[in-house]
């Protein structure tokens, strides 16, 4: 029965992707809002060019809840940037944090991000994956919008504009936009970059694992947390992770 349900969902997604093939980001956001209503959320990291996706939501569906997973390790500038954008765009942002504080984690486990791939995966589970899963559950989420772009990572290059992740619909309004498209939109609407962009930070995460990059480098080279260029939020859970979250009530 589950396989049949998934096949039906995938068939529906194929049809919807074809129907919305030529839609603009604004049109896709409007479609998602009409289709899913209060079961729709968006997510943001308040990264280098997060203002673009947030501004699109502000223009089209300003009351969509926006989830930000606050690991407790953001740059000081990230918190300030977030506060400024929330006020400027009148956004409904919900911050979700780990159940264990950064101070307690380091006291009990040390700096997990310095403990090889196993430590990194534990760090991501505590600080990013679990808070996001909790947000999705508490907000009754059926569909989730994210500002991922196909040119950012190999995984993102294989996504569809309307996709499926761990049983939920995942919508990527700006998936096909290039860096040039992002820059043009920001200029057109007088939007700010994250303040650290001026210091060479082009992909911004936690302060302990983000470094500046030069123009001849991939922006994701500035993210040095583990071997993968993904933080885990936008990757499907493994079968073991999925069962663990279900058994814990998340």
Q: What is the pLDDT of residues 150-202, one digit of tens each?
A: 888 888 889 999 999 888 999 999 999 999 999 999 999 999 999 999 999 98
- State the pLDDT confidence band at 248, using cuts at 50, 70 and 90: very low
The verdict on residue 10 lying in a domain is: no
The verdict on residue 1 lying in a domain is: no
Q: What is the rounded CA–CA span in Å between residue 35 and residue 53?
A: 19
> What is the structure's pLDDT at 10?
75
Q: In 3-state terms, what secondary structure has residue 248?
A: coil
**Total length of the chain:** 250
The residue from 150, 169, 231, 245 that is catalytic is 231
The verdict on residue 226 lying in a domain is: yes
The verdict on residue 8 lying in a domain is: no
The verdict on residue 195 lying in a domain is: yes
Domain that holds residue 152: 23-247
pLDDT digits (tens, 9 = 90+) for 100-138: 999 999 999 999 999 999 999 999 999 999 999 999 999
The verdict on residue 2 lying in a domain is: no
CATH of residue 133's domain is 3.40.50.620
The verdict on residue 7 lying in a domain is: no
pLDDT digits (tens, 9 = 90+) for 41-89: 999 999 999 999 999 999 999 999 999 999 999 999 999 999 999 999 9
Q: What is the Cα gyration radius of the chain?
A: 18
Structural domains in the chain (count):
1
Strand ranges in 82-155 using DSSP code E only, listed in sequence order: 93-96, 143-145
> What is the structure's pLDDT at 8?
58
Q: What is the rounded CA–CA span in Å between residue 217 and residue 232?
A: 22
Clarify whether 231 is annotated catalytic: yes
The verdict on residue 16 lying in a domain is: no
Q: What is the rounded CA–CA span in Å between residue 145 and residue 132?
A: 13
Mean pLDDT of the chain: 88
- Enter the pTM of the model: 0.85
């Amino acid at each position: 029965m589950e396989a049949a349900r998934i096949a039906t969902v995938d068939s529906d997604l194929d049809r919807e992707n074809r129907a919305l093939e030529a839609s603009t980001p604004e049109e896709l956001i409007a479609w998602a809002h009409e289709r899913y209503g209060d079961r729709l959320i968006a997510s943001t990291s308040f990264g280098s060019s997060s203002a673009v996706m947030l501004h699109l939501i502000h223009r089209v569906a300003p009351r969509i809840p926006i989830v930000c997973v606050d690991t407790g390790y953001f740059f000081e500038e990230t918190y300030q940037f977030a506060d400024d954008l929330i006020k400027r765009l009148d956004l409904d942002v919900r911050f979700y944090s780990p159940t264990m504080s950064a101070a307690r984690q380091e006291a009990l486990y040390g700096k997990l991000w310095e403990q090889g791939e196993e430590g990194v995966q534990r760090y991501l589970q505590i600080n990013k994956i679990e808070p996001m899963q909790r947000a999705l559950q508490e907000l009754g989420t059926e569909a989730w919008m994210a500002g991922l772009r196909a040119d950012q990572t190999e995984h993102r290059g294989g996504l569809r504009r309307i996709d499926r992740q761990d049983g939920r619909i995942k919508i990527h309004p700006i998936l096909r936009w290039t860096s040039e498209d992002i820059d043009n939109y920001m200029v057109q609407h007088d939007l700010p970059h994250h303040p650290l962009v001026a210091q060479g930070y082009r992909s911004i995460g936690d302060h302990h694992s983000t470094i500046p990059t030069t123009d001849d480098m991939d922006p994701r080279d500035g993210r040095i947390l583990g071997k993968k260029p993904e933080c885990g939020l936008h990757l499907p859970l493994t079968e073991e992770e999925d069962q663990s979250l279900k058994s814990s009530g998340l």
